[in-house]
Amino acid sequence: MENKERYAKPRTIDELRAFCEDRGMPLEKMRFFIGEDYRGAQAFGIYQDENGDFVVYKNKSDGSRAVRYQGPDEAYAVNEIYEKLKAETELRKRKTHMYRSESAPQTSSYSQKSTQSKKSGIRRFRGLIIFAVIAVLIVVFAHLDKSPSRGYYHYNDRDYYYYEDDWYGYDYGLGSWVLLDTVDSALYDNSDDYYVSKYYDDYYSSEYFDETEGPSDFTDSEYYDEYSSDSSSSSYYDDDDDYDWSWDDDDYDSGWDSWDSGDSDWDSDW
- Measured CA to CA, the distance from residue 63 to residue 260 in angstroms comes to 19
Residues 137 and 223 in one domain: no
This model's pTM is above 0.85: no
Residues 211 and 133 in one domain: no
Q: What is the pLDDT of residues 161-198, one digit of tens each?
A: 998 788 999 988 888 899 999 999 899 888 888 888 77
For residue 232, is it within any domain?
yes
Residues 157 and 210 in one domain: yes
For residue 249, is it within any domain?
no
- Measured CA to CA, the distance from residue 140 to residue 5 in angstroms comes to 38
- Measured CA to CA, the distance from residue 63 to residue 40 in angstroms comes to 6
For residue 32, is it within any domain?
yes
Contact by Cβ (8 Å): 191, 149? yes
Instruction: Return the minimum-mean-pLDDT range out of 21-30, 77-86, 213-222, 246-255.
Output: 246-255
Taking alpha carbons only, the member of 171, 142, 166 closest to residue 233 is 166
Domain total of the chain? 3
Residues 170 and 236 in one domain: yes
Confidence at 230, pLDDT banded by 50, 70, 90? very low
Residues 211 and 123 in one domain: no
Residues 133 and 164 in one domain: no
Residues 198 and 178 in one domain: yes
For residue 176, the enclosing domain spans 147-240
Buried (b) or exposed (e) across 201-228, using 16+ Cβ within 10 A? beebbeeeeeeeebbeebeebebbeebe
For residue 234, is it within any domain?
yes
Q: How many CA atoms lie within 13 A of 142 on its CB side?
A: 19
Residues 10 and 31 in one domain: yes
At 41, give phi and psi (nearest 5°): -75, 160
For residue 218, is it within any domain?
yes
For residue 75, is it within any domain?
yes
For residue 72, is it within any domain?
yes
- Measured CA to CA, the distance from residue 52 to residue 213 in angstroms comes to 26
Residues 130 and 151 in one domain: no
- Measured CA to CA, the distance from residue 228 to residue 219 in angstroms comes to 9
In the predicted model, is pLDDT for residue 227 greater than 50? no
Q: What is the pLDDT of residues 2-29, one digit of tens each?
A: 444 444 689 999 999 999 999 899 999 9
Contacts of 56 (CB under 8 A, 6+ apart): 45, 46, 67, 68, 69, 70, 77, 80, 81
Contacts of 140 (CB under 8 A, 6+ apart): none
Residues 69 and 16 in one domain: yes
For residue 253, is it within any domain?
no
Confidence at 241, pLDDT banded by 50, 70, 90? very low
Give the mean model confidence (pLDDT) for residues 138-153.
Answer: 70
The average confidence (pLDDT) of the chain is: 77
Residues 137 and 67 in one domain: no
Question: What's the order of all strands across the beta sheet hosting 176-180?
Answer: 176-180, 166-171, 158-163, 151-155, 195-197
In the predicted model, is pLDDT for residue 201 greater than 70? no
Residues 123 and 183 in one domain: no
